[in-house]
Amino acid sequence: MTSSKKAGSEPRPKKANSQRAGRLSSGRVTLSDVAKVAGVSSMTVSRAINRPETVTEQVQQIVKAAIDKTGYVPNLLAGGLASSRTRLIGAVVPTLSHMLFSGSIEAFNGRLAEEGYQVLLALSGYGQAADDNLVRTILSRCPEGILLTGTHHSKEVLAQLDNVNIPVIEGWDLSRQPLDMAVGFSHDEVGQAVARFLVAKNHDKLIVVGAQDERAIMRRDSFLRTLEELGVDDARHVDTPSPSTLEMGRESFAQLFEEGVRRAAIFCNSDWLAHGVIIEARERGLCVPEDIAVIGFGNLDFAAYSSPSLTSIHIDREAIGLHAANMFLKRLAGEEVEQTIVDVGFDIIERQSTQSVL
């Protein structure tokens, strides 16, 4: 006990062993433990840690020594509670199994970590039902900002976000006016671009294959709509279950084949599906891309090498994470974010080679 307060002359001040009354403290070394060792007040230790320039050089040394000696690890729960600066940023993504997300998140995390922030992740797994709870759960940790996937949110989520009043970024999707800030690309534009691309190539029959997730549907619909506008009226689509797998691609093409499809250009809403389609088409004795032209979507970079006959849509996933991080950082530093909507665009990468190298 610090003897600084000998208040009261009673041999046993009744609150002397105040510890007993409460619970056992967690046992961890606390700020005041360090303070005791250093022989200063806990406020001074706090300052020495957070704003070293506000204390004497000498105090810095003493405190540093005390910290090393005690093995002190700050308790950010307490710090965050007291200061409302949690240095935590929440992020909700469907999955980590797609490079599009894991790549962005990794860049996002990296940039934020440089500035002392941590990312708290929640995986929504494509079902939008659970989204409300995920956001709730994230918000209950008092993040200073939150990154969401997509631009479609339930009323509950909107209300919750409104309540906490922190910066929000909607990522990977630019299809609607954002709540606050956004970084991504337009799925509509992807659909349009692919439609134009394929029409320009004079393909006979156009088909889109894809899963039922929100953004895949946007691409599909925009694709079909654009085709109609371009005068193609026999385009069709095949819907597959989520998540998209190579196996699903095979099945989809098998089905098309059974239905008599022998020549077509197929827009696959995921690279996995695309590979499945290619494999199945070849197994059925068709030539890719001569008979069946395939265009994929995503960032399965390996695709570029393994299947030169696949044209694919490439997204700069790192840019998404980096932009998002920087937008948060600017905002949290109190600066104006000059560009609140960042379109990272996409590229249609066409392989020239008609031969698989594998």
Partner DNA sequence: TTGAAAGCGATACCAA
Partner DNA sequence: TTGGTATCGCTTTCAA
Interatomic CA distance for residues 329 and 181, integer angstroms = 13
Stretch that binds DNA, among 77-85, 112-120, 160-168, 241-249 (CB under 7 A): 77-85
- CA 334 to each of CA 116, 117, 318, 329, 337: distance values in angstroms, whole numbers, following the listed order: 16, 16, 24, 9, 9
108 binds, among its own copies, DNA, none (CB under 5 to 8 A by kind): none
Q: What angle do CA 90, 211, 311 make, to 5 degrees?
A: 95
42 binds, among DNA, its own copies, none (CB under 5 to 8 A by kind): DNA
Q: Which residue reads 């499945």 in tokens?
A: 276
- Contact between 122 and its own copies (CB under 8 A)? yes
The answer to whether 105 and 321 are in contact (CB under 8 A) is yes
- Contact between 307 and its own copies (CB under 8 A)? yes
The answer to whether 148 and 176 are in contact (CB under 8 A) is no
Rounded least distance, CB 75 to its own copies, Å: 6
Element (H, E) at 326: helix 317-332
Report CA 118 to chain centroid distance, whole Å.
13
SS3 (DSSP) at 298? coil
- Contact between 119 and its own copies (CB under 8 A)? yes
Among 9, 12, 14, 82, binds DNA (CB under 7 A): 82
The answer to whether 294 and 310 are in contact (CB under 8 A) is yes
- Contact between 141 and its own copies (CB under 8 A)? yes
Q: Which of residues 227-266 bind its own copies (CB under 8 A)?
A: 246
Q: Which of residues 215-274 bind DNA (CB under 7 A)?
A: none
Interatomic CA distance for residues 249 and 252, integer angstroms = 5
Stretch that binds DNA, among 56-64, 108-116, 166-174, 265-273 (CB under 7 A): 56-64
Rounded least distance, CB 47 to DNA, Å: 6
Nearest to 295 by CA among 185, 220, 214: 220
Among 32, 60, 76, 349, binds its own copies (CB under 8 A): 76
Write out the two tokens for 181. 């800030």
Interatomic CA distance for residues 329 and 187, integer angstroms = 27
Q: Which residues bind its own copies (CB under 8 A)?
A: 26-29, 71, 73-78, 80-81, 84, 86, 95-97, 99, 102-103, 105-106, 109-110, 113, 118-123, 125, 136-137, 139-142, 159-160, 163-165, 246, 272, 275, 278-279, 282-283, 300-302, 305-307, 356-358
Q: Which residues bind DNA (CB under 7 A)?
A: 4, 15, 18-19, 21-23, 25-28, 30-32, 40-44, 46-47, 49-50, 54-56, 58-59, 72, 74-75, 78-79, 81-83, 85
